[in-house]
Chains A and B, each alone.
Chain A
Amino acid sequence: MKDSTSYFLPDFGSLSMGAKILVLAEAIAVIFTIGLNDRVGITAGRDFLFLSAYALTIALVSLLFLRIASRIIRKRSAIVGSLVVIALMLIAIVAVTEGMIAAFYNLHMIPSRWPAWQMTVLVHSLLIGTIVMLLGLRHLFVSHKAQTDAKLEQEARIQALQSRIRPHFLFNSMNSIASLTRSDPPRAEAALQDLADLFRVLLADARKLVPISAEQEISRQYLEIEKLRLGDRLQVNWIVSNVPRNALIPALTLQPLLENAIYHGIEPRFGGGTVKVELWADNTETLNILISNPVPEVRKHAHGRGNKIAMDNIRQRLASHFHEAATLQTFEEGDQYRVKIKMPIIKNQGDRYLAGISR
């Protein structure tokens, strides 16, 4: 089977496809009846019956061909498949037209086996058939594309949401809170409040810029919840120096990186470990964020997809605000895994235009 997102040809053997083709053939018969006749009358009726019989026969024969060739068509690429479909259709037109003329002659309805108008009818039918077929394939292509686009967009949205929060974290936290409601209700209450604040930020628009102090606050609340679960296994060391509190960073830059550090670096370790968060300004222009976590003693899995999605997501958002002026790097140093972000310091949304960052 071909890549299903680009493959637009349907199963021509299916009933609904057959019905559609018959309706299309009948529509063509109606159009031509109207074109050939000025008024409703016996002639129009005769034309209609004849054209319907002709078009429907072609449609039925085509369907028969398509049904037989259906499996072969679906094994080929979309382009080859389409050509096969058109070819089968044209063969059907020739066969039905010739068959009809032969039948008329045998029934003595026409005097000659090779009437003068034969070529005209054949060429017209083939032309009309080709045009209708191309339009039909185009329709199939467009409707398939609309469907897959909608699906891809939905998947992208889900991925974006999941990159903001690991369901693993959410459900484990809820389990911890469920446990605390019995043993320590005040702590359960505090944890629920932290979780609510965290979710408000997670569900908000992640494209906007927020003061770094707000991002630090939400990260602290997140870490409180993680400490409930992990206890002494999680130590966090904040080293913050000379960072202007109102420096703006994309919302949810720090928190997902901490979540990664804990998921990949702390949770898999028997004794846990320390996540180090360093924030500093190089001068008045550049903000640095460095997050370090120990690598696990035993690596059971490679760094999973979740990690990559979160990193890509942050990178994209940094790029959308700062273009090349911001960088995100990951590297291993000894037993430490580090993520380093550099970005320009701006204090209100308009500044990036002044700083010449935005195009």
Chain B
Amino acid sequence: MREPGMVVEQKREAMKVLIVDDEKLARDRLRELVGEIGEHTVVGEAMNGNEAIEQTARLNPDVLLMDIRMPGMDGLEAAMHLMGLDSPPGVIFTTAYDQHALDAFEVNAVDYLLKPIRKDRLAKALSKAGKLTLQQLQDVNQAQETPIVRTHLSVHLRGNIRLVPVQDVLYFLADNKYVTVRTASEEHLIEDSLVNLEREFDESFLRIHRNALVATPYISGIEKDGGGTWHVALRGLDKRLAVSRRHAAAVRRWARR
């Protein structure tokens, strides 16, 4: 728990709380404790990060009580996606034990509660639940022993979040400020840099051009055209993507593997 310091605690208005945990007993307990504290209302429950984002869009909670370790999308990633909303909810993480992670939470002033959760601590955390920023969460992630790699990308459309599974992405194409994300059926714009994406997803993506990263599981072939330029063919995509001269050697090295 982050200590309240010298701040005078002020009475908050009743908040709408969303509970996110993959364990039923853990959710039951939080629901009961919030009920006993009395001021706030539990508006819903979710079992993983994906559900947490759906429920947030539907129920518009003020604060999420969210487990960090969950199957599929975990709590930290879900919180990062939520920060893209126009008015993101507060997030209080819950966790049983994870010493490395918790040091990072502490340093970046991100609230967390330790399981078994105590009523008084929960009440205090709810009464001062502050807003988080994406930067804080990214710093927490980078400080971990093994930072998480996002399972989804979030596309923000008029204040809504649309999640695109990273495993569906064929390629990323950068132009000035945005990056185009291309899946078999759709195209989206995200605000990110190719450098960051390359670093995060380096296990499954290959740089073929200054402005292009392609998903290696989708590569079906590389071929040379009449002019001597190499091109990459991707499953589920009619057009070919040009490989720049600078990246040709690396692409062919990858193909030989």
Q: Interface residues of A toward B: which range?
A: 20 to 34
Known contacts A230-B23, A300-B149: A174-B116 contact under CB 8 Å: yes
- Give the docked Cα–Cα distance between A305 and B144 (Å): 13
Contacting residue for B69 out of A170, A179, A267, A297, CB 8 A:
A267
B151 interface hit (Cβ, 8 Å): yes
Q: For the complex, is A107 an interface residue (Cβ under 8 Å from B)? A: no
Name the distance in Å between A173's Cβ and chain B's nearest Cβ.
9
Across-interface contacts of A228 in B (CB, < 8 A)? 25
In the assembled complex, which residues on chain B have CB atoms less than 8 Å from the CB atom of A297? 72
Q: Are A167 and B97 in contact, with the CB atoms below 8 A?
A: yes
B74 touches A229 (CB 8 A): no
For residue B12, CB closer than 8 A to chain A, the reply is no
A298 → chain B closest CB, angstroms:
5
A302 interface residue per 8 A CB criterion: yes
Are A178 and B29 interface neighbours, CB within 8 A? yes
**B71 near A168 (CB under 8 angstroms)?**
no
Which listed residue (B32, B71, B145, B149) contacts A267, Cβ 8 A?
Answer: B71
Residues of B within 8 A of A309 (CB): none
Determine the chain A residues whose CB is within 8 A of the CB of B22 once the complex forms: 267
Size of interface on B: residues with Cβ below 8 Å to A: 25
Contacts of A301 in B (CB 8 A): 146, 148
Cβ of B146: which chain A residues have Cβ within 8 Å of it?
A: 301-302, 304
Interface string of A322-353 (1 = CB under 8 A from B): 00000000000000000000000000000000
A172-B72 in contact (CB<8A):
no
| Residues in B neighbouring A170, C-beta threshold 8 A | 96-97
Q: How far is the CB of A176 from chain B (nearest CB, A)?
A: 4
* Bound Cα distance A167, B99 (Å): 10
In the complex, A290 Cα to B71 Cα: how many Å?
Answer: 25
Interface centre among B23, B26, B32, B98 (most CB of A within 10 A): B23
State whether B71 touches A176 (Cβ < 8 A).
no
**Interface status of A117 (Cβ within 8 A of chain B):** no
Min distance, Cβ B216 to any Cβ of chain A, angstroms:
16
Given contact pairs A268-B71, A300-B149, A175 touches B96 in the complex (Cβ within 8 A): yes
Nearest B residue (CB) for A231: B24
Residues of A within 8 A of B148 (CB): 300-301
Q: A170-B97, A175-B23, A179-B26 are in contact. List 17 more A-B contacts (CB 8 A).
A: A166-B97, A168-B69, A168-B97, A170-B96, A171-B96, A171-B97, A174-B116, A175-B96, A178-B29, A228-B25, A229-B26, A267-B22, A267-B69, A269-B71, A300-B74, A300-B148, A300-B149
Binding site for A on B (CB under 8 A): 22-26, 28-29, 32, 48, 69, 71-72, 74, 96-98, 114-117, 145-146, 148-149, 151
Residues on A facing B (Cβ under 8 Å): 166-172, 174-180, 182-183, 228-231, 267-270, 296-298, 300-302, 304-305
- Between-chain CB contacts (< 8 Å), 12 pairs: A166-B97, A172-B26, A172-B115, A182-B29, A182-B32, A229-B25, A230-B23, A270-B48, A300-B148, A300-B149, A300-B151, A302-B146
